[in-house]
C-alpha cells in the first residue's frame, strides 16, 4: 500500500456508478444538479464537453475527469445545446461509451488531499488503459440489475486512476515517494530514522531538506500528521476518546489531545505556513 492509498483509506472515499449515457441521436446535452461531492465522467469512444459554471473541460475517448459538483454540471457532445439523450439501454446502437457517477470524500479529505475543483487522467487527453478496461466491463454490466456492487467497484477504479494521475502536491516529488509510502505504512515501533535510512540513498540532513522542499515538513512531522488523521477519523467515527488513546498507544487522553494540537499538515512550496514563525 502506498501513501495515497493510505490517505484515501483514512479519510474515506465512496464511489458510485451512476449511468451509462445512451442516445438515439449523435448530439445531446445532459444537465446535472449540484451535490456535496464530485462527479466523474469517463468516455470510451465519444468526445464530450463538461461544463461546471462558466468553465469547461473536454473528455476524449479513453480519458476520465473528476469535477466538483458545487455548481450545476452540463455534459454534451459539443458546445451547442441539444435535447437530452433519449436512447434505449437495450439497443447497442444507442450506446455512447460515456459513463458517469459520483465520488464523495470524507470530511478530513479537504485538508489531507488538497483536491482542486477539477482533476483528470494524465497526460491530458491520452488514452488510459485502466479507464478503457473499466469502461469495457461497465458496458457489459449495464443491463445487469444485480451487478451494482461490481459496477461501483469498476467506477472506483476509474476514480482511483484519476487520483493517481493527479497526486496531492506533497506526494508528487518522486525523490521522496518511496520514503513517504514507508512512513505511512510502517509499524509504530519502527523509528522514522530507520525508515528514512532504508528508503533514501542520502544523508538524514539531505532527506529532511527534500521533505521540507516538497511538503514543508520533516519526515517525522509528516508521519505524525498522518497518524493524527487516523486518530481524528477514529474520533469522527464515534469511537470513545479513551479507547482511541489506547488504540494509538498514547499514555493518556491528554497526550492524545496535545499530539493532535501539534500535528502540522503538509504545505505546498508556495504556501505560507502560519506555524513556521
pLDDT score, position 60:
95
The Cα 132–Cα 138 span in angstroms is 10
User: pLDDT band at residue 273, thresholds of 50, 70 and 90?
Assistant: low
pLDDT tens figures, 58-85: 999 999 999 999 999 999 999 999 999 9
For residue 274, pLDDT beyond 80: no
Structural contact between residues 151 and 138, judged by C-beta atoms closer than 8 angstroms: yes
Q: Return mean pLDDT, the chain.
A: 92
3-167, which class in CATH?
A: mainly beta
Least confident span in 19-23, 142-146, 190-194, 239-243: 142-146
Query: In percent, how much of the chain has pLDDT > 70?
Result: 96
Q: Residues near 233 by Cβ (< 8 Å), separated by ≥ 6?
A: 10, 11, 12, 106, 108
Cell numbers that stand for 262 in this block = 501539534
For strands 38-43 and 95-105, give the pairing. antiparallel
**Is-contact 269 209, C-beta < 8 A?**
no
Per-residue pLDDT for 272 more than 90?
A: no
List of long-range contacts for 152-158, beta carbons under 8 Å, 24+ apart: 152/15, 152/16, 152/17, 154/17, 155/15, 155/16, 155/17, 155/18, 155/40, 155/99, 155/101, 156/13, 156/15, 157/130, 158/15, 158/40, 158/42, 158/64, 158/99, 158/130, 158/131, 158/134
Label residue 114 by pLDDT band (50, 70, 90).
confident
| Whole-angstrom distance, CA of residue 54 vs CA of residue 92 | 34
Helix (H) or strand (E) holding 55: strand 55-59
Q: Where in the chain is the domain with CATH 2.60.120?
A: 3-167
Q: In this predicted structure, what is the pLDDT of residue 53?
A: 85
pLDDT value of position 172 = 87
pLDDT tens figures, 202-249: 998 999 999 999 999 999 999 999 999 999 999 999 999 999 999 999
- pLDDT tens column, 131-152: 999 999 998 887 777 789 999 9
Using pLDDT thresholds of 50, 70 and 90, give the confidence band for residue 268: low
Which residue, among 38, 158, 37, 160, has the nearest Cα to 98 in the 3D structure?
Answer: 158
For 97: left if phi > 0, alpha if psi spans -120 to 50, otherwise beta; the answer is: left
132-144 in b/e form (b: 16+ CB < 10 A) is bebbeebbebbee
Q: What is the pLDDT of residue 239?
A: 96
Q: Which CATH number fits domain 171-262: 1.10.10.60, 1.10.1740.10, 1.20.140.10, 2.40.10.120?
A: 1.10.10.60
| Whole-angstrom distance, CA of residue 147 vs CA of residue 67 | 26
pTM: 0.91
Q: What is the pLDDT of residue 275?
A: 46
Average pLDDT over every residue of 90-98: 92
DSSP 84: P
Q: Quickly state the pLDDT bin for 54 (edges 50, 70, 90).
A: confident
Read off the C-alpha cell for 81: 445545446
Which residues make up the CATH 1.10.10.60 domain(s) of the chain?
171-262
Amino acid at each position: 500500500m502506498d501513501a495515497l492509498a493510505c490517505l484515501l483509506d483514512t479519510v474515506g472515499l465512496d464511489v458510485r456508478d451512476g449511468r451509462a449515457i445512451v442516445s438515439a441521436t449523435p448530439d445531446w446535452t445532459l444537465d446535472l444538479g449540484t451535490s456535496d461531492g464530485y462527479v466523474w465522467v469517463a468516455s470510451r469512444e465519444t468526445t464530450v464537453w463538461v461544463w461546471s459554471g462558466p468553465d469547461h473541460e473536454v473528455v476524449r475517448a479513453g480519458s476520465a475527469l473528476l469535477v466538483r459538483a458545487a455548481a450545476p454540471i452540463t455534459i454534451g457532445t459539443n458546445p451547442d445545446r441539444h435535447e437530452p439523450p433519449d436512447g434505449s439501454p437495450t439497443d447497442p446502437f444507442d450506446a455512447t461509451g460515456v459513463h458517469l457517477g459520483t465520488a464523495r470524500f470524507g470530511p478530513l479529505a479537504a485538508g489531507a488531499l488538497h483536491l482542486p475543483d477539477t482533476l483528470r487522467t494524465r497526460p491530458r487527453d491520452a488514452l488510459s488503459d485502466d479507464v478503457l478496461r473499466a469502461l469495457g466491463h461497465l458496458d457489459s454490466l449495464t443491463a445487469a440489475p444485480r451487478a451494482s456492487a461490481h459496477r461501483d467497484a469498476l467506477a472506483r477504479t476509474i476514480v482511483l486512476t484519476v487520483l493517481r494521475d493527479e497526486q496531492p502536491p506533497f506526494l508528487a516529488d518522486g525523490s521522496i515517494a518511496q520514503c513517504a509510502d514507508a512512513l505511512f505504512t510502517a509499524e509504530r515501533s519502527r523509528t522514522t530514522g530507520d525508515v528514512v535510512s532504508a528508503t533514501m540513498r542520502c544523508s538524514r540532513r539531505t532527506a529532511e531538506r527534500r521533505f521540507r522542499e516538497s511538503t514543508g515538513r520533516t519526515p517525522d512531522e509528516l508521519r505524525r500528521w498522518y497518524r493524527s488523521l487516523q486518530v481524528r477519523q477514529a474520533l469522527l467515527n464515534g469511537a470513545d476518546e479513551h479507547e482511541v488513546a489506547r488504540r494509538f498507544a498514547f499514555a493518556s487522553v491528554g497526550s492524545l489531545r496535545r499530539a493532535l494540537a501539534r500535528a502540522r499538515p503538509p504545505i505546498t512550496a508556495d504556501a505560507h505556513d502560519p506555524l513556521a514563525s
